[in-house]
A = this chain, B = another copy of it.
Amino acid sequence: MEKRVERLHRIAAATPGVISLGGGLPSDALFPRGPLGRAFVRAMREPRASALQYAWPEGRAELREWIAERLRARGAEVGADEVIVTSGAQQAIALAAQLAFARGDEVGVDGESYPAALDLFRTRGGRLRVGWNDGVRAFYAMPAIGNPHSRPMSEEARTALLARRIHVIEDDAYAALRFDGAVPRPLLAQARDRVWHVGSFSKTLCPGLRVGWLVPPPAWRERALELKHATDLQASSLGQTVLALFLAGDDFDARLARARRFYRARAARLVRAVRRHLPNWRFAEPEGGFALFLESDEPGDDLALLETATRHGVSFDPGRIFRPDGRVAPLGLRLCFSNVGAAELDEAPRRLARAWDEYRREAHAPVLRGMTAP
């Protein structure tokens, strides 16, 4: 299944003129190329060029202090020594997953969740469950803003989750990109002893540096750091150094405010166009993040629809990849507004509506037959 999705994504990416609403990429229009370039030049002038040399596994000190300070401002008592800089948030989730549960354990997730985390938990031998019922050993949460629904966890759900005394992997990647500008208190602040807090610069700044972080429960810090070292020695010295020099001269809060305005406007534009062209699809209005998640009660196969849509010049992320059991019904599509221009945000739902019409007109069988080829 995963291979078919990947194949279709690669076809869509390689087809000129296809508007891609898939992937969850931040907007390259927001990348601070100039300031990062200046930070790089300064890094190359450092006496021993630490940006190019090996470094300690826990990561650069100024960066850990910067991260800890922002967590403290949100109510979590975290010192710089408790932060481990990772090769992106994905590695932070992977380290947490390796320590917070064992092969065969039940791992709780939302009904729809971040596909690369689901794949990872499967790889680690976790048995995926929806929710945090008895038997679940660890829960993967995106409390501030979820993916793909782009909504926060309710206060009641947070309380109920924390009442279960299990490991929580808190993925905070979109927290600073809530459209209302409120950056909620992390779960970390409420259950320091069992929350594995995961953060990233990938959504707020740019993903190419591959710099994220993990704040493990204090009792697990040593083991997490040993595992980090065994996994890849350290996060990129280059990425960390450029980032630390960049942050020292940047007004990051002003940058976040601009990013929120930018993504809020794109979200509103996509919402309008979807309501106009795809009025029978339901979705919750995003409160942050990068995407809408559309659902329909009409029968259909999301991969077959993706293939039709690509021919009509638009692509999306098929709903099944967000579901722990990979189920197709109800038919679901994630549409990302984050890295698509305004005119394309108007046009893409129009194309998708045409694809949907064609898909429904055709019998599903022949389309599916075509899909079973390797």
Contacts and interface: CB of A to CB of B under 8 A. Distances in A.
Q: Which residue among A209, A226, A230, A242 has the maximum number of chain B CB atoms within 10 Å of its CB?
A: A230
Interface of A: 2-3, 23, 25-26, 28, 31, 33-34, 36-37, 40-41, 44-45, 48-55, 86-88, 90-91, 94, 116, 119-120, 123, 202, 206-210, 222, 226-227, 229-239, 241-242
A209 B88 contact: no
A119 B231 CA distance: 10
Given A37-B44, A209-B237, A210-B238, 8 more contacts: A2-B226, A36-B44, A52-B208, A119-B229, A120-B230, A210-B233, A210-B236, A239-B239
A34 B43 CA distance: 11
A87 to B, nearest CB: 5
A62 to B, nearest CB: 16
B232 A88 contact: yes
A50 B339 CA distance: 13
A208 B90 contact: no
A25 B52 contact: no
Contact of A232 (B2, B119, B210, B234): B210
Contact of A116 (B41, B88, B119, B230): B230
**Residue in A23, A41, A236 with the greatest tally of chain B CB atoms within 10 Å:** A236
Given A119-B226, A230-B119, A239-B238, A207 B53 contact: yes
Contact of A233 (B33, B90, B235): B90
A190 B364 CA distance: 49
Contacts of A120: 230-231
